[in-house]
Amino acid sequence: MQHFLTTESLSKDQLTNILDTAESFTNVDGGTIKKVPLLRGKTIVNLFFEASTRTRTTFELAAKRLSADVLNINISSSATVKGESLLDTLRNLEAMQVDMFIIRHQDSGAAEFLSKHISPHISVINAGDGRHAHPTQAMLDMYTIRKIKGEFTNLKVAIVGDLLHSRVARSQIHALRILGAKEIRVIAPRTLLPAHIESLGVKVFHKIEAGLKDVDVIIMLRLQKERMQGALLPSEHEYFHLFGLTKERVALAAKDAIVMHPGPINRGVEISSEVADGPQSVILKQVSYSIAVRMAIMAMLAGNQS
Amino acid sequence: MKIEINNAHIVDPANDVNKIANLYIHNKSIAAVGDKPTDWQADTVIDAKGSYVFPGLVDIATRLREPGQKHKATIASETYAAVSGGITSVVCLPDTEPAINSPAEVELIQQRTNATGHCHVYVIGALTSQLKGSMLSEMAALKEAGVVGVSNVLHPMANNLVLRRAMEYASSQDLTLFYHPMDHHLAANGCIHEGLSATRMGLAGIPTAAETAAVGSCLALIEQTGVRVHFCRLSTQRALQMLERAKFDGAPISADISAHQLFLSDMDIVDFDSNYHLLPPLRSRSDVAGLRLKLGSEIIVSLCSDHQPHERDAKLAPFASTEPGISALETLLPLALRLVKDEVASLANIISLLTCKPAQLLNINAGSLAPGQAADICICDPAIEWQLTAESMHSSGKNTPFLNKTLKGKVTHTFVDGKLVFQNNS
């Protein structure tokens, strides 16, 4: 792998390899060794065209623990960033002898676009492009699931919420399918489901009670406030009433089911505080595992560069 | 000047000609097809054995990018690209900058064509002022300036009331309305057919209903007003079925399809390649099959290029942020011949959609090889296989999904008004 743009086209071995490598960094993260010199002398640029705290900081931490030099560049998403200036921005940074770009952009396909137009020795990691993909998030979710649940082949996983606009969900669906999850369900009103989503290998549910029955993993998606405009949903209240994850609904799933969320969470909109902070929630574990997983991906790409 | 084209397979659907024969050009006009005129002494003889001779093609949907967008292309570059593809009459659409809104823009295009053009250029004027969709344009003035029709292209109409009034007003000026069916609210900010590819790539989709809903509303207005409408660039088989049904019931309508819609579907879009970003979008495989099946239907009167040349930067961005459209003048005839090979329609039928039928729609004197007609002629060697490359393209726009693909059938000579304006030397 030279770039890490999407989970869709990767093999089971490649995904497992990422999870195994992340495992080897877990001690580094939580234990005695704070830093490894794997990326010493490399320059990594966090190029964020959309606001982000969690993803950017965990990438930064991961890069620093690999001893890389890190540069953070935030470009306001309010200004219309046209492709031309996107490419110009990139060329300028390229001239500073960068080794790796981590990019988040509001356009689907932006990371792939950059990977096609930069010098061949530079790697690109997709940190979220439009509605298309967020593969490092999906991998840290897979890591979290494997850590707690073991193998994927017996797992029923439900993804609940705004799948139409979710790059996280698309990357999760591909990763779960490739890793061999037994069943992948999506639960949402039709207004929040993209056309033909069943072709991605998922079962569609419009009622959360039916969809959550006996699942081992519940993945909640963030519902952005602006979705309340444009006739996708009538109100936050009604959304919570129909799709909000409550203690009673969690009880419909398998006894030891885990509750996940890519964050940031909207308490009282897609998830109740009781569940978010409850015993089955692994939301904060996802965040702490994210550093090891991102270290693994960066190290693997850098290893292929030399 | 007397020119003789010998032993060609002449296909001239306007005059029911489909045979091997000789063709004689005297100065600007066709002198004869078949028998040699009396006292004939040719100045030039072209042996066209193995080649087709067609009337120069008529393309009803060409962006020449003048006025206002010379960074994309010019009348000089695009009319040369046209004749290199055997096209001798093009119709430029009003979505220029400024829009073709008044006699001034029409005259500008005519002057630039006289000074720099290589083929006949006709103009469709704006249906509404500045294409804004709310006020009627000065259609009588546009008509006097010589436009062959009016259209709002893909700019939205404010509402159906404005559309109704525009239809009625255009009809009282004897102007054909070229209607591009798209419900802009349903299309929203979509950039690809709403289907599996859109879902996989996370791109906002344009549903089939964006086209069928617009067709349905317009058909209701046609029924109300009796106005004749030409429907442009159909992309869905369902819309075509609706129009066929309405035609059967007596509606005064016709339609066209752009050639690439008969070859490419949304499933061909891979790696976010912006050359596949089109409007209307590439539809599903079953739409492609459905459109192919109905190409011979009476309602289809033109197979067109929908030519939209862009500068490199316009396509150099993530998919949704690029400008839609393909540079298509030079692929129109090879794709059309491919349809014959694929047995979608007969050669004569396909050529009629490229010559006499669009000429009739526009009410222009073109698309026929009858003696006395202007000698607009295309000679094409159907056996030549060639690769479409950025370097070999004559259009300023290199934006096409067919780039680096092998095409079959190449124009060797193009005549406009009896003058050899293009010859392929390779």
Contact yes or no for B199 and A200 at CB 8 A: yes
Task: Determine contact: B203 vs chain A, CB below 8 A.
Answer: yes
Cα–chain center distance at B395: 15
Asked if B203 and A197 come within 8 Å (Cβ–Cβ), the reply is no
**A128-157, pLDDT tens digit by residue?**
999 999 999 999 999 999 999 999 999 999
Residue pLDDT, tens place only, A2-20: 999 999 999 999 999 999 9
Quick check: A86 and B317 CB within 8 A? yes
**To the nearest whole angstrom, how far is the Cα of B245 from the nearest Cα of chain A?**
28
Q: Which backbone phi and psi does A260 adopt, to 5 degrees?
A: -125, 160
Probe site for chain B from A168, A196, A226, A227 (most B CB atoms < 10 A): A196
- State the DSSP code for A182: S
pLDDT, residue B62, reads: 97
- Is B320 in contact with A84 (Cβ distance < 8 A)? no
Closest CA relative to residue A212, chosen from A160, A264, A170: A160
Distance from CA of A204 to the nearest CA of B (A): 14
pLDDT recorded at residue B12: 98
Residue with tokens 């087709």: B52
pLDDT digits (tens, 9 = 90+) for A262-291: 989 999 999 999 999 999 999 999 988 999
Closest partner residue to A108 among B195, B313, B319, by Cβ?
Answer: B319
Gap between the Cα atoms of B411 and B384, Å rounded: 9
Q: Is residue A96 very low, low, confident or very high in pLDDT (cuts 50, 70, 90)? A: confident
Residue B313 has its nearest CB partner, among A84, A129, A195, at A84
Residues 248-277 of chain B with CB under 8 A from chain A are 271-272
pLDDT digits (tens, 9 = 90+) for B157-215: 999 999 999 999 999 999 999 999 999 999 999 999 999 999 999 999 999 999 999 99
Q: What whole-number distance in Å separates Cα of residue B404 and Cα of residue B387?
A: 6
Rounded to whole angstroms, the Cα distance separating A49 from B123 reads 43
Report the run of H or E that residue A195 belongs to, with start and end. none
Check if B186 contacts A (Cβ < 8 Å): no
| A38 touches A24 (CB < 8 A) | no
pLDDT of residue A33 exceeding 60: no
Residues 302-361 of B with CB under 8 A from A: 313, 316-322
Report how far residue A209's alpha carbon sits from residue A206's, in angstroms, rounded to the nearest whole number.
9
Residue A262 has phi, psi (to 5 degrees) of -75, -10
What distance in Å separates residue B274's CA from the closest CA in chain A?
A: 10
**What share of chain A has pLDDT > 90, as a percent?**
75
By C-alpha distance, the chain A residue nearest B204 is A131
Report pLDDT for A304.
Answer: 74
Confidence label for A42 from pLDDT (cuts 50, 70 and 90): very high
Residue of A106, A107, A164, A229 best to disrupt the B interface, most CBs of B under 10 A = A107
Cα-based angle B93, B97, B102 (whole degrees, multiple of 5) = 70
Mind spelling out the 3-state secondary structure of B234-271? Answer: CCCHHHHHHHHHHHHCCCCEEEEEEHHHHCCCHHHCCC
Band of residue A82 on the pLDDT scale cut at 50, 70, 90:
low
Taking the C-alpha atoms of residue B65 and residue B309, their distance in angstroms, rounded to an integer, is: 8
Residues 6+ away with beta carbon under 8 Å from A65: A25, A28, A29, A34, A35, A36, A291, A295
**CA-wise closest residue to B287 among B269, B266, B256, B304:** B266
| Residue numbers in chain B where pLDDT is lower than 50 | none
Distance CA(B68)–CA(B306), nearest Å, equals 19
Phi, psi of A253 (to 5 degrees): -80, 180
Torsion of CA B361, B362, B367, B369, to 10 degrees: 100
| Residue-wise DSSP of B59-104 | EEEE---TTT-TTT--HHHHHHHHHHTTEEEEEE-S-SSS-S-SHH
Residue B12 falls in the annotated catalytic set: no
Cβ of B205 within 8 Å of Cβ of A195? The answer is: yes
Task: Please give the span between the terminal C-alpha atoms of chain A, in angstroms, as a whole number.
Answer: 12
Q: Exposed, middle or buried, B122 (CB in 10 Å: 0-12/13-18/19+)?
A: buried
Cβ of A130 within 8 Å of Cβ of B272? The answer is no
Nearest CA in chain B to A116: B271
Q: Judge: A87–B194 Cβ closer than 8 Å, yes or no.
A: no
In chain B, the residue whose alpha carbon lies closest to the alpha carbon of A83 is B317
End-to-end C-alpha distance for chain B, whole angstroms: 25
Above 80 in pLDDT, residue A215? yes
- Give the H/E segment covering residue B327: none
Q: Name the closest residue on chain A to residue B195, using Cα atoms.
A: A195
Question: Which among B250, B173, B193 has a CA at the least distance from the CA of B219?
Answer: B250
CB contact under 8 A, B203 and A199: no
Hey, are the CB atoms on B317 and A113 less than 8 Å from each other? yes
Q: Which residues of B touch A167 (CB under 8 A)?
A: 202
Contact between B113 and B72 under an 8 Å Cβ cutoff? The reply is no
Pick A108's closest partner by Cβ from B201, B313, B322.
B201
pLDDT of residue A92: 81
CB B292 within 8 A of CB B265: no
Asked if residue B344 lies in contact with residue B262, where contact means CB atoms within 8 angstroms, the answer is yes
Interface of A with B (CB under 8 A): 8, 82-84, 86-87, 105, 107-110, 112-113, 116-117, 129-133, 167, 170, 194-197, 199-200
Residues B339-358 pLDDT 10s? 999 999 999 999 999 999 99
- What would you report as the CA-atom Rg of chain B, rounded to the nearest whole angstrom? 21
A131/B203 CB distance under 8 A: yes
Please indicate, yes or no, whether the overall pTM of this predicted structure exceeds 0.90. yes
Shortest CA gap B185–chain A (Å) = 11
- Residue B149's beta-bridge partner residues? B124
Q: Which of B59, B287, B306, B376 is catalytic?
A: B306
Output the pLDDT for position A77: 53
Q: Using only the alpha carbons of chain A, give its radius of gyration.
A: 19
Omega before B98 cis (within 30°)? Answer: yes
Residue A306: is it exposed, middle or buried by C-beta count within 10 angstroms (0-12/13-18/19+)?
Answer: exposed
Whether residue B426 contacts residue B36, with contact meaning beta carbons closer than 8 Å, is answered with no
User: Which pair of structure tokens corresponds to residue B290?
Assistant: 């459905």
- Determine whether the interchain pair B204/A109 forms a contact, defined as Cβ–Cβ distance below 8 Å: no
Q: Which residues pair with B114 in a beta bridge?
A: none
Query: A128 to chain B: nearest residue by CA?
Result: B202
pLDDT of residue A132: 97
Nearest by CB to B202, which of A132, A195, A199? A132
SS3 A75: coil
For residue B331, give both structure tokens: 């692929």
Predicted pLDDT at A28: 52
Q: What's residue A89's pLDDT?
A: 79
Chain B residues whose beta carbon lies within 8 Å of the beta carbon of residue A197? 199
CB B266 within 8 A of CB B236: no
Task: Check A86 against B318: CB less than 8 A apart.
Answer: yes
Q: What is the token pair recorded at A267? A: 């308490």
